[in-house]
Structure 1
Amino acid sequence: MDIHYRADIKGGLLILHPAMGIVISGKVTIGKNLTLVGGNVIGFSTGINNPFIIGNNCSLGANAVIIGPIILEDEIKIGASACVIKNCINKGVTLVGVPAKEINKA
């Protein structure tokens, strides 16, 4: 696991299968209760100074990737092997695919 010491992570980080690997950028602000299944990357494109924020109660399926800077609202579920590269400001949705697209509201 590679979690940068500058990553701003609120309480409740749950990593279900850490042996699959986790990478978290030091540029991200993560809300409460993030669940990572394993094989996840939360990375940052260099040279861009926009905010990189993941809301509360979000989850990433196996091998899901987020490439920031982006803003994700609360209660977002990201499907297995999805790649999120755009903001999602709708609360409680599911994102799937490459690039990830919204499929429903909870």
Structure 2
Amino acid sequence: MSLKSDFIKYKKYSGNKSTLVLLLTQQGLWALTVYRISNKIFKSSLLKPIKLVLLGLAIIYQKWIEIITGISIPYSVSIGKRFYIGHFGNIIINSNVKIGDDCNISQGVTIGVSGRGDKRGVPTIGNNVYIGVNAVIAGPIIIGDNCVIAANSLVTKSIARNAVVVGVPGKIVNYNSSKDYI
């Protein structure tokens, strides 16, 4: 289960604190736990009336998490294993976004919809991507594997793998990858 892999990553980053301590102190983990359970219900093959009731409850829990942590992760988002939210607050992820394995995001990140007509859409984020504080990634773009999106960057164009992106609008400054960030 992906939730177990999330806990393993949180333990690694926390200096191997206990699961109970992590659950009591890590708001990102609260949001991920509610998301993983809600997403499992969303993807399940339960009878439709049962599924609708459970998803209704999931939405209530997700809204509660959003209010107390400032983290909005809808149940329909696709997030890979070992996802890590470094700090809580002001994190918005569009319901149609796809995020790969081993990604880290910081506070203030928005991953959302942009564009008009047939150019409207949401990003697809590859594996091993680090997204810095207050970064915005928007539109029907692809962020390649092993990328770094620096703090306060605005990315509206696809980025090749291993790129480090800085600024508004985001510009590739090198191809040093995310190996030291993840």
TM more than 0.5: yes
Q: Number of paired residues?
A: 104
Distance 2:111 2:95 in 1: 9
Residue in structure 2 matched with residue 29 of structure 1 by the alignment: 98
Q: Which of 23, 38, 55 is the equivalent residue of 2:107?
A: 38
The structure with the greater share of residues assigned to helix is 2
Q: Offset of 1:93 from its aligned partner?
A: 1.1
Partner of 1:74: 145
Residue 6 of structure 1 and its aligned partner are, at CA, apart by 1.0
Q: Equivalent residue for 2:77?
A: 7
More strand by share: 1
Report percent identity of matched pairs: 38
Q: 2:155 aligns with which of 84, 88, 91?
A: 84
Name the amino acid aligned to 1:7: V
Tell me which of the two structures has the higher relative contact order, counting C-alpha pairs closer than 8 angstroms and 6 or more residues apart: 1
Letter in 2 for 1:4: P
Task: State the distance in 1 between where 2:76 and 2:96 align.
Answer: 7
Question: How many angstroms apart in 2 are the aligned matches of 1:27 and 1:45?
Answer: 12
What is the alpha-carbon distance in structure 2 between the residues aligned to residue 24 and residue 12 of structure 1? 17
- Runs (5+) with no aligned partner, structure 1: none
1:13-44: CA deviation from partner (whole Å, max 9, x where unpaired): 100111x3210111111100110111100011
Equivalent of 2:169, from 82, 99, 106? Answer: 99
Q: Name the larger-Rg structure.
A: 2
- With 95-104 and 41-50 compared, the bigger mean Cα shift is at 41-50
2:96 is paired with a residue whose SS is coil
CA distance in 2, matches of 1:98, 1:56: 23
Decide whether the 8 Å contact of 2:114 with 2:121 is kept in 1: no
Structure 2 residue runs of 5 or longer lacking an equivalent are: 1-70, 177-182
Please list the CA deviations of residues 43-75 of structure 1 after superposition, one character each: whole Å capped at 9, or x if unmatched.
Answer: 112654657311000011110110021111100
